[in-house]
């Protein structure tokens, strides 16, 4: 019987850290990974979790799936406490980690699922029905009796997804499931995830791919250094600054001092510079795109300019802006402490 909590996931003041010791010096150090997380995830929704490497995404997934114990705070999944009722939580969740190490290569896809169905405690009749159903859902019916060693990485990830859904979990945790998969395989996996969401499964998805989070998520949170720094629907996050526009400028041979002068323009919020082949790509965030574009053409006099495109901010722009704000705030605090 599921717990009575309305939220599928309820997190209050969650902290989790790691200790390490140096025997020679006799020191014990504590490194915080999660620093007071408060979060609710509604039942039947897909919640996207974004953040740079080392921000705490995987640690949070491991706490929610009972693989790690919180250092402090209270966490419930499907209405059950992840510490005192860990077994009840495990019966109601599915976990799919990035990579392809969660399956047995010498077994067929179907035999892999049969093994895990047995571990989940499904009876023989239910096993067969659920295995047939899940290989169809993830598009592996034609390959179910082949050995997994002959599967592509995308097929292995879809098999892991089938494994994680065999016992009809209330909550499914997906930790970077499309990482390293070719574009076709990643698209197929996203289609499967979208169908599971439509069927009412609560899903927590961590990913580095902004378009993936934008396409699939009902709600998104951005985590940085163990803290939630932003939360909302994809559209809400992209509307954080209504007047902001992005100028994408393609140019060749832009001097570094000119980039700094563009960044110093009064109407410019930020400038990101990158490369594509021989071209430099400048992404200029501005509150007055017409005036800014005119000023950029003046500053780039004598520089060959390719395309200049004005567009509304996308989720990646919102993500980069929020991280930059958090980094500036963190730098300001550190400077105050050291002063």
Please name the fold of domain 245-312.
Alpha-Beta Plaits (3.30.70)
Say how far residue 74 (Cα) sits from the centre of its chain.
22
Distance between CA atoms of residues 310 and 283, nearest Å: 10
Question: Per-residue confidence of the chain (339 residues) as pLDDT tens digits?
Answer: 344 467 999 999 999 999 887 666 667 788 899 999 999 999 999 999 999 999 999 999 999 999 999 999 999 999 999 999 999 999 999 998 876 667 899 999 999 999 999 988 899 889 999 999 999 988 999 999 999 999 998 899 899 999 999 999 999 999 988 887 888 888 888 998 998 899 899 999 999 999 999 999 999 999 999 999 999 999 999 876 667 899 999 999 898 899 999 999 999 988 888 888 889 999 998 989 999 999 999 999 989 999 999 998 899 888 988 888 888 887 665 665 555
Distance between CA atoms of residues 50 and 214, nearest Å: 11
The CA R_g of the chain, rounded to the nearest whole Å, is: 24
| Residue 202, strand partner residues | 171
Distance between CA atoms of residues 131 and 137, nearest Å: 10
Which helix (H) or strand (E) covers residue 110, if one does?
Answer: helix 109-119
Ranges of CATH 3.30.70.260 domains, the chain:
245-312
Ranges of CATH 3.40.50.300 domains, the chain:
43-68+81-238
Burial class (CB in 10 A: 0-12, 13-18, 19+), 99: middle
Distance between CA atoms of residues 61 and 230, nearest Å: 18
pTM of structure: 0.83
Distance between CA atoms of residues 196 and 200, nearest Å: 7
Strands (E) across the chain are located at: 7-22, 27-42, 46-50, 72-77, 80-81, 93-97, 171-175, 202-206, 219-224, 227-232, 245-252, 268-276, 279-286, 304-311
What secondary structure does DSSP assign to 44-55, as a single string?
A: T-EEEEE--TTS
Please name the fold of domain 43-68+81-238.
Rossmann fold (3.40.50)
Give me the residue label for tokens 């609710």: 40
What are the backbone angles phi and psi of residue 223, rounded to the nearest 5°? -110, 135
| Residue 265, strand partner residues | none
CB 85 within 8 A of CB 132: no
79: left (phi over 0), alpha (psi -120 to 50) or beta: left
Contacts of 318 (CB under 8 A, 6+ apart): 230, 237, 238, 240
Largest CA distance in the chain: 75
């Amino acid at each position: 019987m599921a717990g009575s909590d309305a939220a599928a996931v309820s997190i209050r003041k969650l902290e989790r850290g790691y200790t390490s010791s140096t025997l020679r010096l006799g020191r014990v150090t504590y490194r915080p990974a999660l620093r007071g997380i408060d979060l609710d995830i509604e039942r039947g929704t897909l919640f996207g979790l974004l953040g740079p490497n080392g921000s705490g995404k995987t640690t949070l997934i491991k706490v929610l799936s009972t693989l790690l114990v919180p250092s402090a705070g209270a966490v419930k999944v499907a209405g059950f406490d992840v510490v005192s009722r860990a077994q009840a939580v495990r019966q109601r969740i599915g976990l799919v980690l990035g990579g392809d190490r969660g399956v047995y290569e010498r077994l067929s896809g179907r035999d892999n699922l049969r093994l895990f169905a047995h571990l989940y405690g499904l009876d023989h009749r239910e096993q067969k029905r659920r295995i047939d159903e899940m290989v169809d859902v993830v598009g592996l019916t034609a390959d179910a009796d082949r050995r997994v060693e002959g599967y592509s990485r995308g097929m292995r990830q879809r098999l892991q997804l089938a494994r994680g859904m065999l016992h009809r979990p209330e909550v499914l945790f997906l930790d970077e499931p499309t990482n390293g998969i070719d574009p076709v395989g990643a698209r197929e996996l996203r289609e499967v995830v979208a169908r599971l969401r439509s069927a009412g499964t609560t899903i927590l998805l961590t990913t580095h791919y902004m378009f993936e989070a934008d396409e699939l998520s009902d709600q998104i949170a951005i985590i940085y250094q163990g803290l939630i720094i932003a939360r909302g629907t994809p559209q809400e996050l992209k509307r954080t600054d209504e007047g902001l526009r992005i100028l994408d400028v393609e140019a060749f041979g832009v001097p570094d001092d000119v980039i700094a002068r563009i960044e110093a323009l009064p109407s410019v919020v930020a400038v990101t510079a990158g490369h594509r082949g021989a071209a430099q790509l400048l992404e200029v965030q501005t509150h007055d795109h017409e005036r800014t574009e005119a000023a950029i053409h003046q500053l780039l006099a004598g520089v060959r300019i390719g395309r200049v495109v004005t567009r509304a901010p996308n989720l990646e722009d919102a993500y980069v802006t929020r991280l930059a704000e958090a980094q500036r705030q963190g730098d300001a605090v550190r400077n105050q402490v050291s002063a």
